Amino acid sequence: MSDIHHPGRRSVLAAGAAGAASLGASWLLTGCTGAASAPVLPVAAQQGAPDRGGTLRIARPPASDAETLDPASALSAYEYLGALYNRLVRVDKDGTLVPDLAESWEPDGKARTWTFRLRKGVTFHDGRDFTAADAVYTLRHILDKKTASPQAAVLAPLIDPDRLRTPDDHTLVVPLRTPHAEFPTLLTHYNCYVVPDGSARSIGRTGIGTGPFKLESFAPAGPGRVTAFADHWQGRPVLDAITFYTVADMSARSNALLAGQVDLLSQTNLDFATARVIAASDRATIARVENGQWYVLPMLTTEKPFTDVRVRQAMKLAYDPEHVVKVALQGAGTAGWDNPVPPSDPAHISAHPEHDPEKARYLLKKAGYEGLAVDLYTSSYDPVFTPMALAYQDSARRAGIRVRVKTAAADSYYTQIWMKKPLMATYWYTGRPVDQLFTQVFRSGSSYNETAWSDKDFDALLDRARRETDDTRRRELYGEAQTFVIDKGGAITPMFADRLVGISRKVRGYAEHGFEFDYLGIGLKGA
């Protein structure tokens, strides 16, 4: 899941598991033998209102020992952020932009200067009032080269930190270097959580924000705890506290859930056999996040044979996305047709080239690669990687493409394979607004452009979309950008997958979208 996708920020260490690791994996392995008779996976989490109070226990994967609570950092402790902080704006479950710490925002006539009206009566966990100075400081902190924030590459071409203005304590004015009609969507990224003015040196340890929980303890790559913030501007959260445990592998995390030692498996997309075992248990069940992840087979466009656009097109036409969804996801997802914009996004276009192995053969012959053989790298890091790779291998065979599936070590996959091998498997979380997605993953020079694709015409198309203030025309331009990526880019996008999240049957109010769940409303029943 690259940064943005977490493997980019996580160092998946073979560290000793905390708490639940002592359970081992034996129960889960033997329990899977009965998976065929288990019930169909539930569509939604347990319904009903939670009780007030209680402590939610979350098991999360291991992280780097350089992990920090600074949201701007590439090593931020992702699971804590939505509990501790707020952003100026956020994306709602239907993909629309909604207020958070900013009550409203508006551009000038050319979308070159944006004015944000900020909430009054909001306090940080240390009792300080939230003001426009904190919003300005947050943006400058992201842009500071010393912070090395992944979001800086997105915001720096647009924002001159010295030109930011605060006419009063609750107004933020952001003049842009170039017009951008979608600029507020760029502030929804999780690197953009608001931190207090002057907190750069301490925020990584203190976690002081305006969120529904305040920090009690935190150990990088280890356990931690947050407690309810009674003075939160939206009201006190349902829970009294959330405790985080770091558990080394998926089997141990799943066993901890089944044993009643934890209530939620964070950042873990369960394989189907494990999900069925959990769904059949008395203590736990499955929450399905529809199209919560998009899976990719990036082709490095700087490495042969993928330097040739005809080869890239052939690799896409050669396989049937519907087949990959059926085999790799057992139907729990949606065919991607090589468009990275999810079907739920208002900007999504459904038009795409059809599966055509004969045309793929023709393109490969024209490019001089008839009988193409390629290595496709995968690993056990994510349970869908290898089934996806094998399904692609099987489907592409009809076009005469020989795919050799290579399994790499999970603990070094995102340091030795990702963005280094010409063809490999990866995934990202959905939830990025369309401009953020294209800018971070597909624009020339982005540090997260995993195909190293560079096309000046595509970049110019994005710039035109940004300058367009007519909503209908701008959406059309982003539609053209999707067609551009499908036709010329280096990313094979077979599918969007429902993310399978293990939760206790006591959990109520689990509603995830984008990068987080509802920390304010989640709770427990009969805890």
Check residue 232 and give its pLDDT: 98
What share of the chain in percent tops pLDDT 90? 75
Least confident of 8-22, 447-461, 503-517: 8-22
Check residue 98 and give its pLDDT: 93
Name the CA dihedral angle for 162, 164, 169, 172, rounded to a multiple of 10 degrees.
-170
Least confident of 5-19, 355-369, 439-453, 503-517: 5-19
Q: Cβ distance 497 to 429 under 8 Å?
A: no
Q: What is the number of domains present in the chain?
A: 3
| Confidence at 45, pLDDT banded by 50, 70, 90 | low
Co-location of 518 and 491 in the same domain: no
Which domain, by its residues, includes 124?
89-204
Q: What is the DSSP string of 182-234?
A: TGGGGGGSGGG----TT-TTTHHHH---SSSEEEEEE-TTS-EEEEE-TT-TT
| Confidence at 192, pLDDT banded by 50, 70, 90 | very high
Co-location of 510 and 490 in the same domain: no
Inform me whether the pLDDT recorded for 527 exceeds 70.
no
Co-location of 476 and 335 in the same domain: yes
Inform me whether the pLDDT recorded for 524 exceeds 60.
yes
Better pLDDT: 420 or 14:
420
Bridge partner residues of 213 (DSSP): 228
Co-location of 356 and 481 in the same domain: yes
Q: Cβ–Cβ contacts within 10 Å for residue 44, how many?
A: 13
Inform me whether the pLDDT recorded for 92 exceeds 90.
no
- Tell whether 79 is covered by a domain: no
Inform me whether the pLDDT recorded for 338 exceeds 60.
yes
Check residue 499 and give its pLDDT: 85
Inform me whether the pLDDT recorded for 7 exceeds 70.
no
**Which of the listed residues 155, 176, 204 is the one where a domain comes to its end?**
204
Bridge partner residues of 118 (DSSP): 102
- Tell whether 74 is covered by a domain: no
Inform me whether the pLDDT recorded for 10 exceeds 50.
no
Reported as a single tens digit per residue, the pLDDT across 395-435 is 999 999 999 999 999 888 988 999 999 999 999 988 888 99
Q: Cβ distance 265 to 278 under 8 Å?
A: no
Q: Is the dihedral of CA 145, 148, 153, 159 positive or negative?
A: negative
Co-location of 276 and 409 in the same domain: no
Closest CA to 318 of 391, 214, 258: 391
Q: Cβ distance 185 to 436 under 8 Å?
A: yes
Inform me whether the pLDDT recorded for 444 exceeds 50.
yes
What average pLDDT does the segment 165-175 reach? 98
What average pLDDT does the segment 338-365 reach? 94
What CATH number should be reported for the domain holding residue 10? 3.40.190.10
Co-location of 484 and 432 in the same domain: yes
Do β-strands 241-246 and 55-60 pair in parallel, antiparallel, or remain unpaired? parallel
What CATH number should be reported for the domain holding residue 153? 3.90.76.10
* Burial class (CB within 10 angstroms; exposed 0-12, middle 13-18, buried 19+) of 282: exposed
Q: Is the dihedral of CA 6, 9, 12, 18 positive or negative?
A: negative
Q: Supply the mean pLDDT for the chain.
A: 89
**Which of the listed residues 154, 175, 204 is the one where a domain comes to its end?**
204
Please give the DSSP secondary-structure letter assigned to residue 70.
-
Least confident of 6-20, 175-189, 395-409: 6-20
Co-location of 22 and 128 in the same domain: no
What share of the chain in percent tops pLDDT 70? 91
Closest CA to 243 of 19, 508, 520, 57: 57
What's phi and psi for 306, nearest 5 deg?
-80, 0
* Residue count (the chain): 527
| Confidence at 290, pLDDT banded by 50, 70, 90 | confident
